[in-house]
Amino acid sequence: MYIHHVVLRKVRMNLKHPFETSFGSMQEKDFYIIEVTDDQGNIGYGETVAFTKPWYTEETTDTIFYMLNDFLIDLLKGQNISHPDEITKILSPIRRNNMAKAALEGAIWDVYAKRNNQSLAEALGGEKSTIDVGVSIGIEENIDDLLQIIETYVQEGYKRIKLKIKPGKDINVLHNVREKFPTTPIMVDANSAYTLDDIEVLKQLDQFNLMMIEQPLGQDDIMDHAQLQKELQTPICLDESIHSLKDAQMAIQLNSCKIINIKIGRVGGLTESRKIHDYCAAHGIDVWCGGMLESGIGRAHNISLTTLSSFTMPGDTSGSSRYWHKDIVTPEVTMDEGVIHVPTGSGIGYDIDHEALEEFTLSTKHFHLNASHNDQK
Ligand code: OSB
Ligand code: MG
């Protein structure tokens, strides 16, 4: 398979409700949709997941454009790709920039699956026909608003509630939440807002019977997380610290966590995600699939990945309506009694709503990877 044509489409979508984490607040999402066309005219789609500011990782929407435009797309020229697992290697002359690579690789996985008349889930070796769904709730100024939001999502059927915390918005909040929701499966995510100096506060989290605490310490603090996990009963889940299989191996060997949140963008693609999943499965580490406020295209990739058998815990990939008034896929992603039914159509399994996509598009750029080679498989 050759890639003949790539389109980078810059898109802006407004969130229904501002989303606040320990690192800042978001009201809109700027990202790129990547469209790749193969030598048979099949089209695959990928989505970039970085934000406009480098708060979560070092990448941004603009650095991703730069990496794709100046370096990554060019590396596909003349490449005869027999399987998407080869993409990691093809893009490897460029260091890191995982989210840029993942979006391109994801589009190629989609086109590969479509070419073979398979769903992306099947192409990945996924087994589940439904996936369990949780929801991530941002920091709220007002506790009554937060309790009301939790109530709504519990009523809708989400299987676990994730609450964002930060220093000063933690123990008190959880006292209130547990009073009203004593048995709801709840976890918290600190997005690196604490250090080991906060250990006394973090230890107090043990009283709330949380499923896990996600990324309490810095993204470079794999060693400190090992020390913290020794002092906590609550399992630590790593997010920002894990950029590769190697990171996952190190964290597991050092007992820095008991659970890993896999995000396709953060680890550089579906191939690396699957490797981390397989390694965790072999080492008794639970995994679940995280989210980055994706539109339906990114959501579809997350859903396909989550069909792998050892995604044992509900992920953050909620329905389209959790963030968007209107999504760019049709049908939209829907959550039904706590699960998403995995689509069975080829590739990502959702069609593009071209009208909606056009409405949200700010600009497009086309790349013709001139096909001087013989156009065959
Ligand atoms: O840490 O998982 C995170 C959103 C933005 C940045 C980081 C994170 C999140 C979420 C929401 O928790 C995930 C989602 O619902 O897509
Ligand atoms: Mg997180």
Q: What tens digit of pLDDT does each residue of 81-134 get?
A: 999 999 999 999 999 999 999 999 999 999 999 999 999 999 999 999 999 999
In angstroms, the CA 271 to CA 332 distance is 26
Detail the DSSP E strand segments found in the chain: 3-21, 24-38, 43-47, 130-132, 135-137, 161-164, 186-189, 213-214, 236-238, 259-262, 286-289, 329-330, 339-341, 351-352, 361-368
Element (H, E) at 323: none
Ligand 1 contacts CB of residue 56 (under 6 A): yes
Q: Which amino acid is at 160?
A: R
| Per-residue pLDDT at 371 | 61
Indicate which ligand has the atom closest to the C-alpha of 259: 2
Active site residue 326: no
pLDDT at residue 377 tops 60:
no
Q: Specify whether the CB–CB gap between 305 and 290 falls below 8 A.
A: no
Active site residue 263: yes
Ligand 1, atom 7: closest residue by C-alpha:
292
User: Which whole number is the average pLDDT over 221-248?
Assistant: 98
In the numeric block, the tokens 């934000």 are attached to 51
5 vs 37, 39, 343, 371, CA distance in Å? 5, 9, 26, 9
Q: Which atom of ligand 1 is nearest to the CA of 290?
A: 2
Radius of gyration of the chain, Cα coordinates, nearest whole angstrom: 20
Residues in the chain: 377
User: Which whole number is the average pLDDT over 277-294?
Assistant: 97
In angstroms, the CA 133 to CA 361 distance is 29
The encoded tokens of residue 141 equal 């100024």
pLDDT at residue 318 tops 70:
yes
The encoded tokens of residue 83 equal 């399987």
Q: Specify whether the CB–CB gap between 127 and 309 falls below 8 A.
A: yes
Mutate to test the pocket of ligand 1, among 137, 293, 295 (most ligand atoms within 8 A of CB): 293
| Per-residue pLDDT at 290 | 98
Q: In the 8-state DSSP scheme, what is residue 241?
A: T
The encoded tokens of residue 161 equal 């509630």
Q: What tens digit of pLDDT does each residue of 14-32 get?
A: 999 999 988 889 999 999 9
Mutate to test the pocket of ligand 1, among 25, 57, 136 (most ligand atoms within 8 A of CB): 136
Q: Hey, how many other C-beta atoms are within 10 angstroms of the C-beta on 198? A: 16
What backbone phi and psi angles, to 5 degrees, belong to 309?
-65, -30
In angstroms, the CA 273 to CA 276 distance is 5
Please identify which of the residues 166, 169, 263, 275 carries the catalytic annotation. Answer: 263
User: Which whole number is the average pLDDT over 33-39?
Assistant: 98
Q: Give residue 375's pLDDT band: very low, low, confident or very high (50, 70, 90).
A: very low
Report the percent of the chain where pLDDT is more than 70.
98
What backbone phi and psi angles, to 5 degrees, belong to 370?
-55, 130
Bridging pattern class, strands 361-368 and 130-132: unpaired
The encoded tokens of residue 32 equal 């790129």
Distance of alpha carbon 234 from its chain centroid, rounded?
A: 23
DSSP readout, 69-127? Answer: IIIIGGGGTT---S-GGGHHHHTTTS---HHHHHHHHHHHHHHHHHHTT-BHHHHHT--
Q: Which atom of ligand 1 is nearest to the CA of 135?
A: 15
Long-range contacts at 353-361 (CB < 8 A, ≥ 24 apart): 353/326, 353/327, 353/328, 353/329, 356/326, 356/327, 356/328, 357/9, 357/11, 357/33, 357/328, 360/11, 360/12, 360/13, 360/328, 361/9, 361/10, 361/11
Report the percent of the chain where pLDDT is more than 90.
97
Element (H, E) at 280: helix 270-282
pLDDT at residue 50 tops 90:
yes
Q: Which amino acid is at 243?
A: H
Please identify which of the residues 159, 162, 164, 169 carries the catalytic annotation. Answer: 164
Detail the DSSP E strand segments found in 117-276: 130-132, 135-137, 161-164, 186-189, 213-214, 236-238, 259-262
